[in-house]
Structure 1
Amino acid sequence: MFSVWFGKKLFRLDNVHIFNPAALGLALLTILSMIAEDRSGSPGVIISWWGADLGQQFLADQLYLYFALALFFLCGFIYFARAFKKLWYVISFTLSYLAVGVIVISLIDGGSVAELLGVTVRSLILSAISFMVLVMFVEPKTSPAIPKQQIAVGLLGAMLLHLLNSYGYAVPIDPLVLTVLGVNIATYILKTRRLLQ
């Protein structure tokens, strides 16, 4: 709760909060947890995405229910992204993430494009990535409103997430959280400088 208040009230520029409060809260909790672990020697708090994977693991043995519930969540999240007028943002990120994923994985692993696309789509839909892009990205105050800005920031977010997943292992904060914070900064710059309008 404190971190959300901190993100909304204290971390502002031009009277606008820059960061998604929940993402900033997760980042702060991760850092505080590491500090507490270093001082006490006991394990710190494990930061999760609140079970945000669309595929709920308690239904893993019942595949029909597993996929039905995932589809229900996916449709609900898409509905809200559409209601917030952020579909260009979601589409830009999703297509860019898929394209970069297929290209990068095919260069590294050398698998077939169809196989790689299937793996990438499954990881996108059934993981916390879909929660990130459909809920955390589209938070109205910290996301771009104009379609051109949404497309640019969506592309940037996809590349940033791939970079963090590939090379960000030394950074203690979850790549998804860092991606949300990164696109928040890009959004702030585009909005305040009135770029791509």
Structure 2
Amino acid sequence: MVVGAIAGWALVSQVGREQERQLQDVPLLKLFILYHAVLLERLAEQLKNDEVTWCERLAEGYCESFELQHFIDSVRDLLILRVDVPGRSARRRADLKEDINELHKEAQVAVTAWTLRERDREKVAGHYDRQVVADAERDCVNARGQAERRCCFLLGHAYRMGNRSMDHKVACVKRRLAHDGVDHGMAKDPVPNS
């Protein structure tokens, strides 16, 4: 009987110790899960920052609206070529083409507005009222910013849809637009680091 009582006590204490160890591991597990979630959040944030930086570097630095228009058209053409890949459903391809064409259209509208504001600015360049000239300049700068922003949206789609070769092709399109020694914002390589 004494042996049974000792065995029972040992078994109960063993089960108790196992449960105690499991309970001790729970806070550590919670800490690990929290740390993992924080790392994933930071990774997602860094990926988004990389996307925004890449898009802004490619979209800025154009001297004339026709240069940005040519760049937008070239990016659209590259994206459309990347839609038809094996394994992608016809519905998905149609949706991607629709998204690309919508973003392209919005960018075109913004570039057209920039062109019109440039013309308005040129018309009032010799105007005697400085406020009229300042307003025309402000409108032109705003229109240019909107055009670059819409270009960024199209480039963001390229960034999310593309692969490393797409990054290099888009950067090459911008490099080809460089003329008369104008930098076009290419002082830093716009291709994200691996």
State the TM-score, normalized to the length of structure 1.
Answer: 0.30
Structure with max Cα Rg = 2
State the TM-score, normalized to the length of structure 2.
Answer: 0.30
Structure possessing the higher relative contact order (Cα contacts under 8 Å, 6 or more residues apart): 2
